[in-house]
Every structure is written in C-alpha cells, then in structure tokens.
Amino acid sequence: MTTKTQTIGERYEPAMKVETQVEADRYFEQLVTDQLEAGVPREKAEDIERANLGYFAGYYDRETRERVERLFRCKHPVLGSVAESEAMTPRDILERGMRLGTIARVAARLRQLRHNTVAASSTLHDAITRSAEMLEDGKSFGEVAEKLESIASWDVATRVAEELRALAVSLKTPLLAVRQDER
C-alpha cells in the first residue's frame, strides 16, 4: 500500500468491505505502516488512521459504519460513534463542527503566535505550544487556562489569554463565554 498514488477512496474503500477482525488488523497495520514510513510516530499514526477510517465510514450506511467502528476500534472524529451520534440533532452536529473548527483555528493561531515571538522566553513558547496541543486533543478552554497558569508566569498566561481574546473577537466566537460556562 502506498499513499503517494492513492486517492482517499482508494485508500479507505477496502476497509469498508472488511468483515473479520483478522482482515481489519492486517489492513490497519498496512495503513499505519505507511504513516510510519513517512516519519509519523506509531501512536500518532494509529490515531490518524482511526480518525480517517471513522470519518470515511461516516459516508456509509449504519451497518457498515458500526462494523468499521467495531473492527478498527474507531469512531467519526466529529460525530463520535454511531451510538453517540444517534441522538444528535442537525443543530447539535452543526454546533459540534463549528466548535471543532474554532479550536483548529485557535490552535493554528497559537502556533503562529509562538512562531512570531522568536525573541520571547522559552516559557512563553512552551505555554503556547502546550495550549495548542491541548485544544487539538479536545481539552476545554478552562483546562487550557489552568494549564497555562501552572506552567507559566502570570505575565505569560496573560499574554496568551489576551491573544485568545483577540482571536475570539476576530472569529466572532464566544470563547470567553465557553470559558465562563466551564467555571
């Protein structure tokens, strides 16, 4: 298997037809091996492939999606498992997608801030990097703020918080309200 000449469909369509655990384990290992050959650490490679399989299965019928989730131990990265997403309304799905999009933009902006503060202390760089990673890993804004306060001086945490507030305004996203709700 190679990712260089494959479309997404060519890469994940065969997984939608897998019927046994042995087949699933073999196919999953092929997917992960491609990532490893590209220099991705194993744990990250497995996470990537499970998210991709879960996402791709979201385009299929319920039976296929359930089978893929069970055999590959995956779920849709936005909707969750079939069981989790059954009760979701279209509004719930939209709100979840918007939140994940906002988190991705915030994390990207934090990384950009880190890059733009070359002369800043390593503590600021560490705080910004860790904040972006935590958001991408699904941590709440409140958890990120707590972590910032524990690894950085008040000045550093304040600078990053100010950047997040400015970003919230520019994105017209109620990040502050989310943080207040988490308290």
Start-end of H helices in the chain: 8-16, 21-37, 42-57, 62-72, 82-85, 90-116, 122-136, 141-151, 154-171, 175-182
pLDDT for position 140:
65
Cβ contact 170:108 at 8 Å: no
- Looking at residues 2-29, what average pLDDT do you find? 91
- Both tokens of 100, joined, read 């994940």
- Both tokens of 138, joined, read 């699904």
Given a cut of 60, whether residue 95 has pLDDT beyond it is: yes
User: What does the alpha-carbon distance between residue 2 and residue 76 come to, in Å, rounded to a whole number?
Assistant: 23
Confidence of residue 91 (pLDDT cuts 50, 70, 90): confident
Given a cut of 60, whether residue 54 has pLDDT beyond it is: yes
Cβ contact 35:47 at 8 Å: no
Given a cut of 80, whether residue 2 has pLDDT beyond it is: no
Given a cut of 60, whether residue 23 has pLDDT beyond it is: yes
Given a cut of 80, whether residue 8 has pLDDT beyond it is: yes
Given a cut of 70, whether residue 113 has pLDDT beyond it is: no
Q: What is the pLDDT of residues 147-172, one digit of tens each?
A: 666 655 556 556 666 666 666 555 55
pTM, two decimals, is 0.60
Name the average pLDDT for the chain: 77
- Looking at residues 51-72, what average pLDDT do you find? 95
pLDDT for position 183:
33
Identify the CA nearest to 55 among candidates 45, 65, 42, 46: 65
- Both tokens of 25, joined, read 């384990």
Please indicate whether residue 127 or residue 171 has the higher confidence score (pLDDT). Answer: 127
Please indicate whether residue 12 or residue 137 has the higher confidence score (pLDDT). Answer: 12
- Looking at residues 4-26, what average pLDDT do you find? 94
**76 strand-pairing partners:** 80
Q: What share of the chain in percent tops pLDDT 90?
A: 39
